[in-house]
Structure 1
């Protein structure tokens, strides 16, 4: 263990976050996401909710300030009446940790899957909320 590192950040996740460079992307995947079949590098965080991981990651990880939307959400499929209250929780965390009020772009489901395949890593979580997947684009350490 180290001082200043949130306890939810495993050594494997810390290593991945440190390896990533500017504009690399990491996916926080809910429990339904096909993480193992899509990941170049897979980090298991089973049992942990995405908001808790997001808050911990953003204590260490700057979001890209040079793009319009440094965070991507999986768009709700047209005709699906699923509500996404977890997005408001994400927005609150990102605004608190990164100071961004409107950080999100919504990406169509299959385009999101293709983008996830190109991500540096995918974090597979125990998140049960639907449409809870998000992609973070890493910024510059100052």
Structure 2
């Protein structure tokens, strides 16, 4: 255990989040997502895990150490429900609440069609699979910057 580090963040996830640069994407996905095969195509090239937690809990852990990109309109994206792109299931509402809490303001997620999400995930820095079993618990987060300390 480390002080001020969310205990859900394991060494592999912390390494990847630290290694990412401004504009890199991290994917947080549910157990039904083809995480291993997609992760093999990412920059990191291997699947990361935050087991036994929901997508919202994993999001809280990741956003406790990673800023979102304020240079883009939607630094957080949710996978759209096939045939119902505007519907927000509970799993996505819970993740939205974690995004808002981490950023200290309402910052609505954008949405992305299922197969476009797969394409984005393959180009991401890394994929983190969670223990989320509800459908459409898949999200992309674009890393932002931490400003320098004031002099």
Q: TM-score, normalised by structure 1?
A: 0.93
Correspondence list, 1:39-58, <5 A: 39=39, 40=42, 41-58=46-63
Classify the secondary structure of the residue corresponding to 2:106: coil
Measured at CA, do residues 124 and 141 of structure 1 come closer, stay the same or move farther in structure 2, by a change above 3 Å? same
Paired with 2:31 and 2:127, the residues of 1 have a C-alpha distance of: 12
State the partner residue of 1:136: 141
Higher alpha-carbon deviation: 70-79 or 107-116: 70-79
The 8 Å contact of residues 22 and 64 in structure 1, kept in 2 or not, is answered as: yes
State the partner residue of 1:64: 69
Paired with 1:83 and 1:24, the residues of 2 have a C-alpha distance of: 25
Query: How far has the Cα of 1:99 moved from its partner?
Result: 2.6
Paired with 1:57 and 1:44, the residues of 2 have a C-alpha distance of: 12
Higher alpha-carbon deviation: 26-35 or 48-57: 48-57
Classify the secondary structure of the residue corresponding to 1:16: helix
Measured at CA, do residues 69 and 100 of structure 1 come closer, stay the same or move farther in structure 2, by a change above 3 Å? farther
State the partner residue of 2:24: 24
Measured at CA, do residues 79 and 54 of structure 1 come closer, stay the same or move farther in structure 2, by a change above 3 Å? closer
Paired with 2:108 and 2:24, the residues of 1 have a C-alpha distance of: 16
- Where structure 1 has 5 or more consecutive residues not aligned to the other structure, the ranges are none
Higher alpha-carbon deviation: 49-58 or 24-33: 49-58
The 8 Å contact of residues 30 and 138 in structure 2, kept in 1 or not, is answered as: yes
> Equivalent of 1:102, from 96, 100, 107?
107
Q: How many residues align structurally?
A: 141
Paired with 1:37 and 1:19, the residues of 2 have a C-alpha distance of: 21
Paired with 2:32 and 2:9, the residues of 1 have a C-alpha distance of: 21
